[in-house]
Amino acid sequence: MSPLDMLADAVGPRNVLRDPDDIAPYAVDWRGAYRGQPLAVARPATTEEVAEVVRRCSAMGLSIVPAGGRTGLCGAAVPTGNGPPSVVLSLERLNRIRHVDARDFSIVAEAGCVVQTVQQAAAEAGRLFPIQWGAQGTAQIGGMLSTNAGGIRTLRWGNARELVLGLEVVLPDGRVLDDLRRVRKDNSGYALRHLYIGGEGTLGVITAAALRLVPALKRVESAFVAVPSPDAALSLYSRIMGCGAELIAFELCARFCMEMAAQHGVGLRMPLPLESPWYVMLEIAAAHESVPLRAMLEDSLAEAMEAGEVLDAAIAESEAQRAMIWKIREDYPDCSRRDSPSVGTDTAVPVSAVPDFVNTAERELKARWPEGRMAAIGHAGDGNIHLSLHAPAGWAGDRAAWVEQAGEMEPLVNAIAVSLGGSFSAEHGIGQSKRHAMATHKNPVALDLMRSIKQALDPAGRMNPGKVLP
């Protein structure tokens, strides 16, 4: 029996994709930056089928590349093309909500569940699954956890890691680690789940997760605010944090980013004229309808205007206006791609260092690449600002040509972030694209420990090879 026939025997012939046209979507990342041809794509529907695929691939000497919604930005779900032949293990059919417990504020979902589906299941139970980012309608729970994804609400509820109570994981030898307990307190030894959250499939395959829910938001207020500088934005952040409401989102956006959204977005309407150098999108919320959110927000913005922290502000007057503010933010990545080629980053610094980070990076980038256009947008409330350097307007070349010209922008920005006590990787993961940064910036002792863990759990190096570790 051939290797592919052995996989078909495990999951059914229709669930092993062999035709190059069928495989093509799994052989390239979302940005088109990474390509790698797998031998096949296996699509198991149960944890036992995942385990059987892993066991058979191991026996045949095949590498395994786990894949979810394939919205990642670092090439983690694409084969590298080096080493032994690989099989993409797609979890799209492993997509059941196993359990929802409103009284326990928990939900158990399989790895192939789309994030938005989990959010909807929580809402139907009168609860909230609070993680939120633009790809939530496509991204899957397994990928979200494997990259420890963040998003616009990290400042309030943390990255994906903070929402995990337990995991089910298929190990490299095909055994199943069942750690799906939903308890909040468990001091029974090492918290093994944290090896797999952010592990990007290099230590095993997450097949299900017990996730924490929070009370549903009964009232929300959003605003689109013009500010004169990142420093003013940080002062506004401190003011809103102390207003008595729950601040659940605080996004800092350069005018250039908003101009790209206005030009390339479909159906986007800017709440304010784009006359300020910087903008903030913010949202406050409460779990009880009696909280006077509107007054809190209006009073805080009025005080900020008097203090010179705010130049103008538009508070959403309806759910449609609120949705538009966040649609601008969520659609920005696509608008940016349509505008021009760019080199991007995913750094984080302490919140107090955001102004220094942005100002230093802007100065250094202008000195090195005066022809480039810096875009800055991100989660100022948790210190994660995404800086990118766009090609000049009217750039005649392709993305590869701009990366060749300005590719050193990423290590430069990484170094600035690390010098300010930050990280070169905030929420997108490492994948293939940041392995060089791991080698440069990660503590050598930490790297030694990571390699030891990898060797102990996956001595043959079959799980997602060429990712994370340099």
In this prediction, residue 30 carries a pLDDT of 84
In this prediction, residue 435 carries a pLDDT of 95
Give the residue from 330, 322, 31 showing the smallest Cα distance to 152. Answer: 330
The two structure tokens encoding residue 347? 């750094």
R_g (Cα) of the chain, nearest Å: 23
Helices in 204-339 by DSSP H: which ranges? 230-241, 255-264, 293-306, 319-339
Give the residue from 357, 348, 381 showing the smallest Cα distance to 154. Answer: 381
pLDDT 10s digit of each residue in the chain, 470 long? 888 999 999 999 999 999 999 999 999 998 888 999 999 999 999 999 999 999 999 999 999 999 999 999 899 999 997 888 999 999 999 999 999 999 999 999 999 999 999 999 999 999 999 999 888 999 999 999 999 999 999 999 999 999 999 999 999 999 999 999 999 999 999 999 999 999 999 999 999 999 999 999 999 999 999 999 999 999 999 999 999 999 999 999 999 999 999 999 999 999 999 999 999 999 999 989 888 999 999 999 999 999 999 999 999 999 999 999 999 999 999 999 999 999 999 999 999 999 999 999 999 999 999 999 999 999 999 999 999 999 999 998 888 999 999 999 999 999 999 999 999 999 999 999 999 999 999 999 999 999 999 999 999 999 999 999 99
For residues 296 and 243, the answer to whether their CB atoms sit within 8 Å is: yes
Q: Are strands 63-67 and 86-90 parallel, antiparallel or unpaired?
A: parallel
In this prediction, residue 31 carries a pLDDT of 80
CA 252 to centroid of chain Cα atoms: 17
Cα separation, 266 vs 338, in Å, equals 12
The two structure tokens encoding residue 136? 């939530």
Max Cα–Cα distance, the chain, nearest Å: 76
pTM, entire model: 0.94
In this prediction, residue 396 carries a pLDDT of 86
Give the residue from 279, 233, 443, 428 showing the smallest Cα distance to 345. Answer: 428
Give the residue from 378, 320, 329 showing the smallest Cα distance to 349. Answer: 378
For residues 65 and 28, the answer to whether their CB atoms sit within 8 Å is: no
3-state class percentages of the chain: helix first, strand second, coil last, to nearest 5: 40, 20, 40
Give the residue from 162, 221, 222 showing the smallest Cα distance to 197. Answer: 162
Give the residue from 402, 339, 398, 332 showing the smallest Cα distance to 372. Answer: 402
Residue 199 identity: G
